[in-house]
Amino acid sequence: MLAKSLVIFIGIGVIAALGFGVYLIDVKNTGQLVFVDGPSVSIVTEKFDFKKGEEITIRIVNSGTVPLTFSDASYGLRITGLSGILMYTPVSAQVISNLDPGDEIEFSWNQIKNDGDTALEGLYKISVKGMDDVGKNVEKSTTITIWK
């Protein structure tokens, strides 16, 4: 027979874990796409955790009220390891690209790095960098996880 205090502590632990899990789900699923007044860019993925080899769809959204300018047709998209080493950037033409307020562009990554190797399991940072109408940098990044 279990001690009464052990049953109480296990019950409190289960309830606390459930509450913390709900909190984490709520925090993880918010904040990707927030529209603001002024210059802003957002990176939206369908989820944060991906299986190895799974196609990753990345949407770049102008979530501000001013047009954004990018230095090439990849819209400044870069995928790096958390250490900052470049893993992937789309092949693109060196042309100025614009994204009007509310517009978006979509890219997909098949988890193949620029050198042709498959990305390993781990954390990756997706970042975008552009400029607003007065030449000020507008940047955004998000982190994803690739699992086995």
Q: Please, which pLDDT band fits residue 3 given cuts at 50, 70 and 90?
A: confident
**Domains in the chain: boundaries:** 1-30, 41-147
- Cβ neighbors of 1 (< 8 A, separation 6 or more) are none
Q: What is the pLDDT of residue 121?
A: 94
What's the pTM value of the predicted model, to 2 decimals?
0.77
| Residue pLDDT, tens place only, 86-108 | 999 998 888 999 999 999 999 99
Write the CATH number of the domain with boundaries 41-147: 2.60.40.2360
How far apart, in whole angstroms, are the C-alpha atoms of residue 137 and residue 139? 6
Tracing tokens 């994803």 back to the chain, one arrives at 144
**What band does 29 get if pLDDT is binned at 50, 70 and 90?**
very low
Average pLDDT, the chain: 89
Is the separation of the CB atoms in 148 and 121 below 8 Å? yes
- C-beta of residue 66 within 8 angstroms of C-beta of residue 39: yes
* Strand-pair category, 137-147 with 49-51: parallel
